[in-house]
Amino acid sequence: MSNPNHDKGEHYLTTPKAEPFLERLIFNNRAVILIGFLLLTVFLGYNAVKIQPDASFERMIPLEHPYVINMLEHRNDLENLGNFVRIAVETKTGDIFSAEYMETLKQITDEVFYLDGVDRSGLKTLWTSNVRWVEVTEQGFQGGTVIPDGYDGSPASLEKLRQNILRSNEVGRLVSDNFQSTIVYAPLYEKNPETGEPLNYATFSRQLEEKIRNKYEGQNPNIDIHIVGFAKKVGDLIEGIGSIAWFAGITILLTTLLLFWYSRCITGTLVPVFTSIVAVFLQLGALRLLGYGLDPYSVLVPFLVFAIGISHGVQIINAMAVEAGKGFDAVTAARLAFRALYIPGMLALISDAFGFLTLFFIEIDVIRDLAIAAGLGVAFVILTNLVLHVLIMSYLGISKGGIRHVQNHGEKQDRKWRVMSYFAHPGVAPISLLIAVIGLGLGLYYKQDLKVGDLDQGAPELRADSRYNLDNAYIIDNYSTSADVLVVMVKTPVEQCTQYNVLRAMDSLQWELQNTPGVQSSASLADVSKIVTKALNEGNWKWYEISRNQTIINASIREAPSGLINTNCSLTPVLVFLEDHKAETLETVVKRVEVFAKANSDDEHTFLLAAGNAGVEAATNEVIANAKDMMLILVYSVVSLLCFATFRSIRAVLCIVIPLGLTSVLGEAIMAVSDIGIKVATLPVIALGVGIGVDYGIYIYSKLEKYLLEGKTLQDAYFETLRSTGKAVMFTGVTLGLGVVTWIFSPIKFQADMGFLLFFMFLWNMVGAIWLLPALARFLLRPDQMIAKARTAK
Amino acid sequence: MAKRLTCKTVGAACLGLSMAWSSPAAFALADIIETPARQTDLATTSLLNDAVLAGDRIVAVGERGHIIYSDDDGKTWDQGSVPVSVTLTAVDFGSDTHGWAVGHSGVVLHTEDAGESWNLQLTGIEATELAIAGKEAQIAAMEERVEDAPESEKEDLEWAIDDVVFTMENMQSDLDIGPVNPLLSVWFKDDQYGFVVGAYGMILRTEDGGETWEDWASKIENAQNFHLNSIASITGGALAIVGEAGQIHVSVDGGDTWERRESPYQGSLFGVIGTGQVNEILAFGLRGNMLFSTDLGKSWRMVPNNAGATLNDGVVADDGRITLVGNGGTVLMSSNDADSFREHFRSDRAGIMSVVPVSGTNLLIVGESGVTIIDARGKNLQ
């Protein structure tokens, strides 16, 4: 019974007797196919090398969400409300009122002025002429630039500068509350107005580092530079993609060592690694030909492709070694391995691919790109693993050491599998189920805290202690500004955007929002009108009100910032500054705006959500929250259907899918406990975890079924299953885990989150398949009926 | 599912949310004088334009119809219920319980319970209609005078009539837009008799606690209709009004008749107070200009100081010390009967609109950033 050679696979599915057509096609044209692969690899490999990093803003947002549609429709009217960098120049000792500091600031101002991409007319620092102070006198207004006329760095002119700054209303905006730093505010062009070329974030960010930060911090050790803004963040993200190369190297090395430990055969180690790398090159090359770049999400797909390639390659090596051990030559062993594995292998890979493709239902381009990249990758793995790999092995064969290693089913090994086969024992199975139910309960309990969206302060893409987030924290602490802005667009008939009723409605919305938890402050044309009306009335606060007199309103907004009125005065924004970008905050605020907009939109003014980073995040959260259930249902349906199609038994499907469900629940609980929200980065993990996790169940169940049909008791059948495939399955789990675990060290926070979660799901799905599947089988499977059914089928 | 879960886990927040749905905002916008002020914690940190004592209670008014009151020297506050959401500019109490607040859209609000609930007595529509009626009466009276006047004066009088007609037509066209102009100050002698003054020379008097009002503009020499910014009583019983273009008006008969005083300063005056000494007046305004008179304004002395910024309000403590407050965080103090002032600029530089004494030598200031309690030197209390 323990003879490994007796199981000459009588199963109707896994080992058909006849040579299938595909097998003949492939093995009769071995050389031609290999040359074909060589050409394809050279061609796509050449393209793969040339693939470019790409982090486009638009690809990361849900383009089909109404908020985003509104935003994009009016993006020309909302010029530069979002895209700017702020550079805080801090002096470590003393304050900004020193000749040396002001000189450095002047040089930095000039340097920033000449950076490509900066909208020079909007550049603001203490040194630009658009930063002014104003005072009311008996004759009217009096004012000037904050840098006094004839500034010469003398104590007298610095004192004058101090007075001007205090009169200028810039404390908290351009000048920090503690007078130890000032801001260089640089709005950016999305597209170069002369050449029409889009801003290159990577280059721009690098220039900020080299020409501003390194240069001036080096020149003046008393100066600290802090830079924030979307362009800088994206630049840092692109920079972070670079560190991926290290992870790739480490992953390949570890996997190779592990593979050798497993197979004890040089060919059996190097060929799977080689073919998996080929799959990665094919995937990357095809991606580039399809016009894609590598964004911070899709850059992770090659790791998955590599890991999937290896884990399935192991099955081939294992099968070939078994066949070779029976005395077959390399070609025959390869043929038999192919014959035995091409259906379950393809099934497993196709279910991986379908798992990825369910991501396509999330209306965010980066996730769809991820789906395409991963789907493509798995398609290539099917080719490289089941064709290229098998063909190369048919030439090289498994080494003797490798064959001996596979045949070496020593007493020790068997004892281990014997112990583990008790998972199927009638006394142990109920305990396993009880533990699973308790685990499920705990999982469901903790998962209640699972949140949608980003939970951390600052730029959630980057780590809390990253340079960018430290800079961001500095600016939040020292200036009265928030980085989380929701923009409500107010649409009016042409030339009507400054009507009293419009301003009054905006003011009402603002007050409603300022009384909403999570809102820090707000700003709109209504504020400008009130503050200037006050100023026009000799600075008397008693006049702080929107006048009903349109002539006064028009006078009050004559000098309003251009971003607050579009060119034909048909759109004006309300900017809402939020305390954070937690999903609850966004949801609360957005709901209030929606209720208000519904009640107060009419012919004179329509309130539209939403622009600003918080608007986009609110839309993203909504899309993700809605997509999550849909995606889970889809991925589980697809996996269940594929399993059902293969095994023709609902009981089989339950045995395979229930452990996956437990993993999904526990995965969400772990997310909740580790403060990882469901977001663009982590939603795909759920699909990937299920899609790839099902492989274990498929390999184990197909063997288990085979032995049961041979008439073995459940525990014996499971023992044989473990002997033949247990090691390969465990190895698969470890390889997949290794493939993603290095991401945990990524400077990009969401990559680390993804790595951590996938690592957990890959390993735990393996545990689920080995431990829980047999326990479920004890309760769900009816071996007698299965045998009867198999007979009638024959 | 995710949404429901989020709600479950943050039950309190969700509850707050659903409550919010059913509260304000869920109706189309009514006019600002028909929109009750929202009850909000932000009232104490938003703009407040005036604060007064009503017995031991402090009552302050400000933007968005906020009226707040405190019975513990400003440590904790309650918000009164107010039927309008306009910026309120001034408040005064004729007794411990009867008070009036005025503001934009020409509103006059009245309370009989020391500031807890307020009702709307007058709007800018009625105020302007009263003013127009006043002008019509004035024109009729002037036309009668033209009849009787000698030929040499006739032309001048006709010019004067034209001016009044022009003013009246302006008021008419304002009325077409709505209640456009604000009232800026209020003074009440008791729970019956008082004045409100405001933009473009608006001044109304009541003798029945605000039930009816009478246009009083014709009693004031203000042909160019400059703003009247502030009205106050002077120790000894006189009344004083100050305003735009250096206007100073004094009444010694309780407000029946008014006399314009010569002013040494032609810029805007925003505040006027008595100093506690009989017939002494301190008036102040733009750029720290300060005028002092010991004879009800017949003669003035400019008081030099380093304020530089507009002064808005002042208060005299029991021991005679005078504190004035103004824009840019300005606090001026005098302990020698306005001979000289020491200045302090508060670090936040926020505008201060009003000051009232609280326990000990402490002061409560209100303004741009709401309520703050400070010590006698103008510094924040720890």
ipTM of predicted complex: 0.92
Residue B102 and residue B188 in one domain: yes
| Chain A contact present for B225, CB below 8 A | no
| Chain B contact present for A675, CB below 8 A | no
pLDDT interval class at B28 (50, 70, 90): low
CA distance B147 to chain A (A): 39
Least-confidence region, from A98-107, A474-483, B70-79, B121-130: A474-483
- How far lies A273's CA from each of A235, A260, A384, in Å? 33, 11, 11
* Residues on chain B touching A511 (C-beta within 8 angstroms): 38, 64
Least-confidence region, from A6-15, A136-145, A157-166: A6-15
Q: Is 90 exceeded by the pLDDT of residue A133?
A: no
| Chain B contact present for A582, CB below 8 A | no
Q: What is the pLDDT of residue A8?
A: 37
pLDDT interval class at A317 (50, 70, 90): confident
Residue B40 has its nearest CB partner, among A515, A540, A599, at A515
Least-confidence region, from A432-436, A509-513, A705-709: A705-709
CA distance B175 to chain A (A): 11
Asked if residue B372 belongs to a domain, the reply is no
Residue B187 and residue B215 in one domain: yes
* Residues on chain A touching B351 (C-beta within 8 angstroms): 539, 541
Q: What is the pLDDT of residue A299?
A: 84
Q: Is 80 exceeded by the pLDDT of residue B12?
A: no
| Chain B contact present for A451, CB below 8 A | yes
Angle between helices A525-536 and A500-514 (to 10 degrees): 110
**Buried/exposed A362-391: b ≥16 CB within 10 Å, e otherwise:** bbbbbbbbbbbbbbbbbbbbbbbbbbbbbb
Residue B115 and residue B194 in one domain: yes
Rounded mean pLDDT of chain A? 87
Asked if residue B310 belongs to a domain, the reply is no
Q: What is the pLDDT of residue A81?
A: 58
Tell me if A600 and B63 make a contact (CB, 8 A cut-off): no
The 10s digit of each residue's pLDDT in A458-496 is: 788 888 889 999 998 898 888 877 778 899 999 999 999
Q: Could you tell me which of B124, B91, B53, B103 has the C-alpha nearest to residue B231?
A: B91
Asked if residue B359 belongs to a domain, the reply is no
CA distance A312 to chain B (A): 35
Decide if A699 contacts A728 (C-beta within 8 A).
Answer: yes
Q: What is the mean pLDDT of residues B290-315?
A: 94
Tell me if B2 and A678 make a contact (CB, 8 A cut-off): yes
The range of the structural domain enclosing residue B117 comes to 45-136+180-219
Determine whether A4 is exposed, middle or buried from the number of CB atoms within 10 Å of its CB (0-12, 13-18, 19+): middle
High-pLDDT (> 90) share of chain B, %: 79
Q: What is the mean pLDDT of residues B332-341?
A: 92
Distance between CA A770 and CA A763 in Å, rounded? Answer: 11
Closest chain B residue to A172, measured at CA: B348
Decide if B159 contacts B153 (C-beta within 8 A).
Answer: no
High-pLDDT (> 70) share of chain A, %: 95
Distance between CA A492 and CA A525 in Å, rounded? Answer: 13
Q: Is 60 exceeded by the pLDDT of residue B10?
A: no
Q: Is 60 exceeded by the pLDDT of residue A620?
A: yes
Q: What is the mean pLDDT of residues A276-284?
A: 94
Determine whether B113 is exposed, middle or buried from the number of CB atoms within 10 Å of its CB (0-12, 13-18, 19+): exposed
**Amino acid letter, residue A753:** D
pLDDT interval class at A611 (50, 70, 90): confident
pTM of the model: 0.83
Domain stops at, among B219, B250, B271 = B219
Distance between CA A666 and CA A672 in Å, rounded? Answer: 10
Give the range with max mean pLDDT: A279-293, A460-474, A765-779, B46-60.
B46-60
| Chain A contact present for B270, CB below 8 A | yes
CA distance B180 to chain A (A): 5
Q: What is the pLDDT of residue A80?
A: 55
Residue B81 and residue B93 in one domain: yes
What backbone phi and psi angles, to 5 degrees, belong to A39?
Answer: -65, -45
CB atoms within 10 A of CB A739: 31
Residue B42 has its nearest CB partner, among A515, A548, A550, at A515
Q: Provide the terminal-to-terminal Cα distance of chain B, rounded to the nearest Å.
A: 49
The 10s digit of each residue's pLDDT in A403-459 is: 887 776 566 778 888 899 999 889 999 999 999 999 999 999 999 888 888 777 778
Q: Is 80 exceeded by the pLDDT of residue B260?
A: yes
Residue B47 has its nearest CB partner, among A451, A544, A599, at A544
The 10s digit of each residue's pLDDT in A555-584 is: 998 877 777 888 889 999 999 989 888 888
Residue B67 and residue B188 in one domain: yes
* Residues on chain A touching B10 (C-beta within 8 angstroms): 584
Asked if residue B343 belongs to a domain, the reply is no
**Amino acid letter, residue A221:** P
Q: Is 60 exceeded by the pLDDT of residue A245?
A: yes
Q: What is the pLDDT of residue B237?
A: 93
Residue B66 and residue B92 in one domain: yes
Angle between helices B2-9 and A612-647 (to 10 degrees): 120
CA distance A548 to chain B (A): 5
Q: What is the mean pLDDT of residues A661-668?
A: 93
User: Which 8-state DSSP code applies to residue A790?
Assistant: H
Residue B129 and residue B150 in one domain: no
Domain stops at, among B193, B219, B245 = B219
The 10s digit of each residue's pLDDT in B118-166 is: 999 999 999 999 999 999 999 999 888 888 888 888 888 889 899 899 9
User: Which 8-state DSSP code applies to residue A676?
Assistant: P
* Residues on chain A touching B353 (C-beta within 8 angstroms): 541-542
Asked if residue B51 belongs to a domain, the reply is yes
Distance between CA A70 and CA A72 in Å, rounded? Answer: 6
Distance between CA A37 and CA A39 in Å, rounded? Answer: 5
CA distance A620 to chain B (A): 14
pLDDT interval class at A235 (50, 70, 90): confident
Tell me if B86 and A449 make a contact (CB, 8 A cut-off): no
Asked if residue B196 belongs to a domain, the reply is yes
CB atoms within 10 A of CB A137: 11
Which CATH number covers residue B201?
2.130.10.10
Question: How many domains would you assign to chain B?
Answer: 2
Distance between CA A21 and CA B246 in Å, rounded? Answer: 106
Looking at per-residue pLDDT, the higher value among A129 and B260 belongs to B260
Residue B132 and residue B170 in one domain: no
CA distance B378 to chain A (A): 19
What residues pair up with B228 in beta bridges, in sequence order? B243
Q: Is 50 exceeded by the pLDDT of residue B9?
A: no
For every residue of A703-765, DSSP letters joined together read HHHHHHHTT--HHHHHHHHIIIIIHHHHHHHHHHHHHHHGGGG-SBHHHHHHHHHHHHHHHHH
| Chain B contact present for A512, CB below 8 A | yes
Residue B81 and residue B117 in one domain: yes
The 10s digit of each residue's pLDDT in A621-658 is: 999 888 888 888 988 998 899 889 888 889 999 999 99
Residue B117 and residue B51 in one domain: yes
Residue B92 and residue B170 in one domain: no
Give the range with max mean pLDDT: A234-238, A362-366, A584-588.
A584-588
| Chain A contact present for B27, CB below 8 A | yes
Decide if A687 contacts A354 (C-beta within 8 A).
Answer: no
Asked if residue B125 belongs to a domain, the reply is yes
User: Cis ω on the peptide bond leading into residue A610 (within 30° of 0)?
Assistant: yes
Q: Could you tell me which of A54, A38, A48, A53 has the C-alpha nearest to residue A289?
A: A48
Residue A548 has its nearest CB partner, among B177, B229, B351, at B177
Distance between CA A314 and CA B251 in Å, rounded? Answer: 105
For every residue of A80-109, DSSP letters joined together read TSS-EEEEEEEESSS-S-SHHHHHHHHHHH
Asked if residue B255 belongs to a domain, the reply is no
Tell me if B21 and A514 make a contact (CB, 8 A cut-off): no
Closest chain A residue to B199, measured at CA: A543
Residue B126 and residue B199 in one domain: yes
Residue A452 has its nearest CB partner, among B6, B89, B367, at B6
Least-confidence region, from A15-24, A344-353, B373-382: A15-24
Q: What is the mean pLDDT of residues B91-104?
A: 97
